Structure 1
Amino acid sequence: MPTEYKRKGSVCRGEWSEQDLQQAIESVQEGRVGVREAVRSFGVPYTTLRRRLRSGNHRKLPLGPLSTLGQENEVKLVNHIKKLQKFGFSPSRTTVRSMAFELAQKLNLPHKFNIERRMAGYPWLESFLRRNKDLAVRKSEARIYNVDETGLQINNKPGFVIAQRGSKNVSAVTSAEKGETISVITSCNAEGSFIPPTCIFKGKNQKPEFADGMPPGSLVFMSEKSAYLEGVLELIILQTKKLMQVVQPVTVHLMRL
């Protein structure tokens, strides 16, 4: 269990809030009250208020040593965990500990994490959850995704036809010889959540415009023989494994935030 400091006796350090500090500084700087009057009105210690007036620092830091990752990096980690949950990839406790280790390593932060196992300890995780009250350990719910493959034609241009005047929907069957068929692999669940699709084009050279308008995270594969799934199934599996490896640690993404 991580150690948590508990104040003894009638010691009342740090009872003021960040808002109290900001209001006290603004009142003194605007000349409405003096320093001692601001101390009595907002409950901020005299030495603290004088020091913050000189430095201009309005933030309240926790008592004792700071967290290993630092407040700013912990906020990035919390936001990323929420994003992973939104897309159905809520990280486990072990994954969060690994993410903390990788982030500390990439940022060259001093830490006492387990280097052999490449992860933070459980005491760090419990302290992390205690500092970030909007996160908690929850029992996950299984999501069943259905995967299917469909063929779509591109570059086919329907011509003019004779139809009833005023009709809203006028459709016609186009010839497969006029267009190019691609395979699209899609996956979604009953909630309406979906995994970005994968498209297979026939050819060797992939063009950037092939991915125009596709959702973020979508994949495009090229197959010299055909655009059918059988020809690139192994490649898709390998690429999916690489994608999952990126989704779990997400260290590089966190550093760019």
Structure 2
Amino acid sequence: MPPIKRKTWDHNAMIQAVDVVRRNEMGYLRAAKRFGVPKGTLERYVKKDVRAEDLVQVRMGRRPALPIDLEAELESYCKEMDRRFYGLRLQDIKYMAFQLAIKNNLRHPFSVTKASAGKKWLRGFLRRHPTLSIRTPEAVSAARVKGFNPVAVVNFFSPFVLNPVPRLHKNNSSSKKTGAASIITGSPYKNSLVESLNKKQEKENKKTQKKRSNKKPQTRKRKDLKKKNVTEVSSSSEDDDIPELADSSGDEYDAECPFCNGNFSQDTRGEKWAKCQVCFRWAHEDCGEVASDSFLCSLCLDM
């Protein structure tokens, strides 16, 4: 024969039927037909001096060793210890179940020699309370436990929830270091600029002297090559005396003084020229009032 399914009726209907019969509003047969519950079960529940809600929640089969209220208290204790970061082991729960049974003078099937409940009781306890589960513990430091509180968690996560961290885009176009902002015409910046330009000029002079000292005269067999070298050397020496221009194109050299607007090609008096270290423009030494080797024109100083 297939197993008979028990307690398939509606629990709320059974509670209402028990209350109606206990108030003498209906009899057993009428209440059973009215609410659709078995008459024998209704009669048995009415005769017991227990609330209808507790009678409906009684499970079929063997009764647990601990009553419902003690198991609920043990469940809340396990949850409280977990909130305090001190989770209980399965053996600890079995020990506490044995101690509860002894202190409350309850009849129990637990082992007296081991002073703990059995595996079957533990499986039934976890099945009756599905909010409890078995987890593998992890080591947590005392400082982390102390700092893990609602206030610290809210302070840590709320700024990122309200204002997400912006993503920074790296600019690989230039790897030069940026300097601090300052006034160009100020004396501290001017002095530092002049010093850096002088150091740069000294380094360039040293490099040119080393190159000239390390150069060896190259002897060539053909006379034509010697003539070409002589002409190239003479032309380069002549070009050194001619000022280099930022706005010159090709082989045409024609500098213009920003003060008197005179061109270098039209200079017939042999006046000396000087190049500004900032804008790299040429000017007459008399017009620019050049006093030292590092020349800065008044146009750059007024910027």
Question: TM-score, with normalisation over the residues of structure 1?
Answer: 0.50
Richer in strand (by share):
1
Question: TM-score, with normalisation over the residues of structure 2?
Answer: 0.43
* Greater RCO (CA < 8 Å, at least 6 residues apart): 1
Question: Which protein shows a greater Rg?
Answer: 2
Richer in helix (by share):
2
